Amino acid sequence: MPVPDALRTLSHDPAFWADYFFRAIPDPDPDPAELRATFPIAGGYTLVLDLDRRFGTYALGLRTPTSVEPIPMAWDDRSRWHPHGLLWPELELIGRVVALDDPSLPHPGLPVALLCRFAPITAEDDAAAVRGVLGAALRSLRMPVPPAEQEPLFPYSPRVLSDAQVDDYLTVPGEGMAGTLRYAGSEVFPFDELAETVRLARRRVARVAAEPWRTERVRELAVRRDTPALLAALESAGCDHPTLLDALAEPVTPAEAAWVVDVLAGDIPVPLRWDGSEQRRG
């Protein structure tokens, strides 16, 4: 399982997020102390997130088809705030791919909430749009629903984080940084490998347009952004993809439905790109 059960369970605890966003002192004896989450993208390329909860240190790497251990991309602790490992358009695209291949991780959701610390809002980003996606990801974190036949022993709150907590975590350090900045050791940043990951991710998302149920009627309704009719057209055309259908079914979360509509309309985000000299500027 890409996201281990222990991390999924922790994601239901507001204290975990307070620690993760450096709003609390790390537990000196957490259990488990170390966790690894993997987010397969395509073609053997996988983002790897390592969490050391004892010291409050988090590292992002990229595993390739030829690497056993992930190539370091970025790391973060209390003395080095939010290094730039991903661009927001890259994270947005990766979130879509993960959701398409793992319906248990809808977008925007847990992957974006965990990986946002490595994607500061840059001068090239639409800050309001970024906060919209990140806010939707944080609000999507839900407490487990108890079995229907079991009465909860305490007042049940479906959301993990309050509106005040979400607003607090939307204050992303590094806003306004130049988009070309990566982390200080940029000579070893896997620019080429990440570019290939993005290329394969775009191709994976584009494959949706080739599905037999993505009819001309579906495309037209997606372009018109007619969500109820689009859902009905998909079902009539034989679509059984849970990620796409769930995103369009009531109750609709606008940010979740928006990317599905975009994909069905043929609109794929284009991450910013630069030549090698700009990419490697520290």
Quote the pTM value. Answer: 0.88
Render pLDDT for 72-112 as a digit per residue (tens, 0 to 9): 998 888 776 656 789 899 999 999 999 999 999 999 999 99
Main-chain phi, psi angles of 268, to 5 degrees:
-115, 130
| R_g over Cα of the chain | 19
Summarised one tens digit per residue, pLDDT across range 174-203 is: 555 544 455 544 567 898 999 999 999 999
Q: What is the pLDDT of residue 180?
A: 46
In the numeric block, the tokens 């079991």 are attached to: 150
Residue 7, both tokens: 């991390």
Q: Do the beta carbons of residue 96 and residue 104 sit within 8 Å?
A: no
Neighbours of 275 (CB within 10 A): 7
